Amino acid sequence: MNYTAIVPARAGSKRLPHKNIKLLAGKPLLVWTLEACVEARKIDDVILSTDSMEYWKIAREYVCSDKLILDYRDSEEEAGDTVKIFDYLKDKRAKIFGDRTGAFVLALPTVPLRRSTHVDEAISHFELCGVPVFSATTYGFPISFAFRVNNNGTWAPIFEDSPMVTGNTRSQNQKESYHPNGAIYVRSIDDLARPGLISLYDGAEAHVMDRAVSIDIDNEIDFKIAMALL
């Protein structure tokens, strides 16, 4: 089967301007993900999907590979603040993938510690289980303790059996919980044409990755954590 990686990197980050090209250990953030995809044994092509020709120029400077291809998003409809990458993949699949067949591997550029081996492992998982795959990792703290703060300052547990209510606060007694880490999504390209598909998690299996390689950069603190891990 053919595999096409797609790395979406808009230039319009609001919380951390130009986050996707901010230098991390001497390389622009998006380059870490592009390199992981290019170096993956199972990946045939790597598409950088961006609304910035500057980003494309930077990608070409750092990543010298015939695998690298540009998907230029030149309109508000394709690259506006409210555009979700899932909707873009579904609505513009013909533009993005052309006549390519097989499966796509979506890799968000904000997860720089994911390596080519992780990409190949996720693809192998996809091939073994026969259903779509998304990468995930464990929470750093038991979510059973989660609560909301009301307007009057009081708190309300999210779960009925919250240890804050039952008194069972021993952390070893709490069940492990997981969340998507944004590193890798693997799914058939043809599946994007399915009318009932509403998310990349629909019918998919979780591919669990170590928390040490799952840092997802959203702000300056995340950058510092990633630098420390590197």
Tell me, what CATH number does 62's domain have?
Answer: 3.90.550.10
Structural domain span for residue 92:
3-139+177-229
| Stretch among 7-16, 36-45, 119-128, 145-154 having the lowest mean pLDDT | 7-16
Q: Looking at the structure, do residues 8 and 61 belong to the same domain, yes or no? A: yes
- Of all residues in the chain, the percent with pLDDT exceeding 70 is 99
Count of domains in the chain? Answer: 2
Dihedral (CA of 160, 166, 171, 174) sign: negative
pTM: 0.93
Q: Looking at the structure, do residues 98 and 70 belong to the same domain, yes or no? A: yes
Cα angle: 74, vertex 80, 86; to 5 degrees: 95
Q: Looking at the structure, do residues 107 and 221 belong to the same domain, yes or no? A: yes
Q: Looking at the structure, do residues 122 and 196 belong to the same domain, yes or no? A: yes
Q: What digits encode the pLDDT tens for the residues 108-167?
A: 999 999 999 999 999 999 999 999 999 999 999 999 999 999 999 999 999 999 999 999
Residue 215 is given by DSSP the state -
Q: Residue 213: pLDDT band by 50, 70, 90 thresholds? A: very high
In this structure, are strands 103-106 and 178-188 parallel, antiparallel, or unpaired?
Answer: antiparallel
Q: What pLDDT shows up at residue 14? A: 66
Q: Looking at the structure, do residues 26 and 113 belong to the same domain, yes or no? A: yes
Q: Looking at the structure, do residues 152 and 88 belong to the same domain, yes or no? A: no
Q: Residue 81: pLDDT band by 50, 70, 90 thresholds? A: confident
Q: Looking at the structure, do residues 182 and 169 belong to the same domain, yes or no? A: no
Q: Looking at the structure, do residues 35 and 47 belong to the same domain, yes or no? A: yes
Q: What pLDDT shows up at residue 172? A: 82
Check whether 59 has a pLDDT greater than 70.
yes
What whole-number distance in Å separates Cα of residue 120 and Cα of residue 57? Answer: 27
What whole-number distance in Å separates Cα of residue 196 and Cα of residue 126? Answer: 21
Check whether 97 has a pLDDT greater than 70.
yes
Check whether 17 has a pLDDT greater than 80.
no
H or E element at residue 206: strand 205-208
Q: Looking at the structure, do residues 62 and 159 belong to the same domain, yes or no? A: no
What whole-number distance in Å separates Cα of residue 135 and Cα of residue 67? Answer: 23
Cα angle: 96, vertex 23, 137; to 5 degrees: 65
Residue 208, CB-side half-sphere exposure with 13 Å CA sphere: 5
Q: Looking at the structure, do residues 22 and 39 belong to the same domain, yes or no? A: yes
Instruction: Using the 3D structure, point to which of 173, 188, 218 is the last residue of a domain.
Output: 173
Q: Looking at the structure, do residues 199 and 133 belong to the same domain, yes or no? A: yes
Instruction: Using the 3D structure, point to which of 131, 151, 173 is the last residue of a domain.
Output: 173
Q: Looking at the structure, do residues 58 and 159 belong to the same domain, yes or no? A: no
Mean pLDDT of 185-203: 96
Check whether 15 has a pLDDT greater than 80.
no
H or E element at residue 78: helix 76-79
